[in-house]
Copies of this chain bind each other. A is one copy, B any other.
Amino acid sequence: MFETAEVGHSIDKETFGQLEPALRKALLDAQFELMQGKKCQVVVIIGGVDGAGKGETVNALTSWMDPRHIEVRGFGEPTDEERAHPPMWRFWRALPPRGKIGIFFGSWYTQPIVDRVTGQCGEAEFVGDLVAINHFERMLADEGALVLKFWLHLSHKAQRKRLHKLEDDPSTRWRVTKRDWKNFKHYNEFKEISARALRETDRAYAPWVIVEGQDARYRNLTVGQTLLNALNARMALDTVPSSVHAALPLPSLDHKHLLGQVDLQQKLAKADYERELEHWQGRLALLTRRAEFKKRCLVAVFEGWDAAGKGGAIRRLTPGLDARHYDISPIAAPTEEERLQPYLWRFWRRLPALGRVGIFDRSWYGRVLVERVEGFCSEADWLRAYSEINDFEEQMVSFGTVVCKFWLHLSPEEQLRRFEERKSLDFKQFKITEEDWRNRDRWPAYEQAVCDMVDRTSTEIAPWTLVAAQDKYFARIKILQTLCEQLERSLG
């Protein structure tokens, strides 16, 4: 794997002088085309051994291209804020938008490799990390991102020489730290673990390019030329081919479905409701204030028919919570900024930190509901979304997040009654729009989408709860109770 990067590659000054201007011009042109077309984002990872010239390579790239459209992200020790979110959160928030190039100086590979070398992470966890990375990069590629990963390599001998040389020069001495020498002692372990990580994540849609780091001219030209070729090849594609899918979900042959199973007769009298409300709100208050909750967080997802009472249910939730410790994210159409990112980006940025509660009024399930039914995304897009969402929720859950998902169900007749009521009540008129009426006409299509969603994403780690919302009192209590019970089970 690293053989070619130990042959002693080098480019002499004269040859470099001949090649560089053309490369520079071509890179600028390609970058301009990327910027204009906004067809994809470019994710460039610069990884490799200490002293192999990662920083210099990044500097070369930014000096060759227009640095205003390159986002360079360095990743050192995670900040407090980053540690309070699932590990991939810091990388999601650093993703470049379409039209830009993001250079990741250090990446999602660093921590798993270091932790495995130092023994802080076991075998099962390491395998799991590599799986998550493969899913993540596959998702980026499916979303149209161009993913390029460079590994700058030095042989054992070359690394020693390089570290000494940097140390001997007063102007570069600061660059060699104690940790560099400590890592150097573990050169072979690092090499072995890295080789394995590279092997398991070297896929055609996100390949590793291993570059010898010793000679700066060779290294920078190789990285630059590879980037240029990949940019040009991608610009030449009209569309990124979407993954093949094997089957569309089949509508239930006997017209029986999950939603039909929900007993809409369930009711709660007002007096019972008020008593229960107080009880469960109190319980939620205690649960979210327990010491254990500081190391966990709660995500509550609310989906449901228009006028099913999502807002009302959420308002009954919050009195049990400390106002400083929760966020409500009402999800509408994506903003311009969000449309330039992979689909899940806008949800990653809203994930609650440890000790917090994130309430989503509509959510990432929009892709397999409204976007599917209204044709806002392609068939291939919503079909692969089921597994992407499951991967996403797995990352939350394995970080310690409790994920509760509610579908608020009612009958079309009850919905109509509520629509009419809203129309007639002045202070509720704003709640009913043309779109609501249109969605209502597509009830059967939405019904199918909801059933498929539950089938594919109600998992053992993050199950759906179908809530009978014909009676608002009943629905609100059911939700509070489910939340409390799931939390209790998780906090132990």
Instruction: Give the B-binding residues of A (Cβ under 8 A).
Output: 1, 3-4, 7-11, 15, 19, 122-124, 127-128, 130-131, 134, 141, 146-148, 192, 195-196, 199-200, 202-207, 209-210, 218, 221-222, 225-226, 229-230, 233-234, 237, 240-250, 252-254, 256-258, 260-261, 380, 383-384, 386-387, 390, 394, 451, 454-456, 458-461, 464
Contacts and interface: CB of A to CB of B under 8 A. Distances in A.
Given A141-B246, A229-B247, 15 more contacts: A3-B454, A3-B458, A9-B252, A10-B254, A15-B254, A195-B459, A204-B243, A204-B383, A204-B386, A218-B253, A225-B250, A230-B246, A230-B248, A233-B248, A241-B244
A303 to B, nearest CB: 15
A246 B204 contact: yes
Contacts of A124: 122-124, 127
Contact of A246 (B146, B210, B243, B456): B146
23 contacts: A1-B458, A4-B257, A4-B455, A7-B257, A9-B252, A9-B253, A11-B254, A122-B124, A124-B124, A131-B131, A141-B246, A148-B247, A200-B390, A203-B384, A204-B243, A204-B245, A204-B246, A205-B244, A205-B245, A226-B247, A233-B247, A237-B244, A241-B242
A159 to B, nearest CB: 18
B384 A204 contact: yes
Nearest to A122: B124
A445 to B, nearest CB: 17
Contacts of A10: 254, 256
B147 A246 contact: yes
Contacts of A380: 204
B9 A387 contact: no
Contacts of A229: 247-248, 250
Contacts of A196: 459-461
Contacts of A455: 1, 3-4, 210
- Quick one: copies of this chain in the complex? 2
Sorted nearest first, the 8 A-B pairs with minimum C-beta distance are A124-B124, A204-B245, A230-B247, A241-B241, A204-B383, A195-B460, A204-B384, A123-B124
Nearest to A146: B246
A199 B459 contact: yes
A185 to B, nearest CB: 19
Contact of A258 (B7, B130, B195): B7
Contacts of A387: 202-204
A35 B389 CA distance: 37
Contacts of A245: 204-205, 207
B199 A460 contact: yes
A42 B270 CA distance: 57
Contacts of A248: 229-230, 233
A148 to B, nearest CB: 6
B3 A258 contact: yes
A136 to B, nearest CB: 14
Nearest to A459: B199
B218 A390 contact: no
Nearest to A194: B460
Given A246-B147, A247-B230, A221 B11 contact: no
A390 B196 CA distance: 11
A15 B202 CA distance: 52
B202 A256 contact: no
Contacts of A209: 247, 249-250
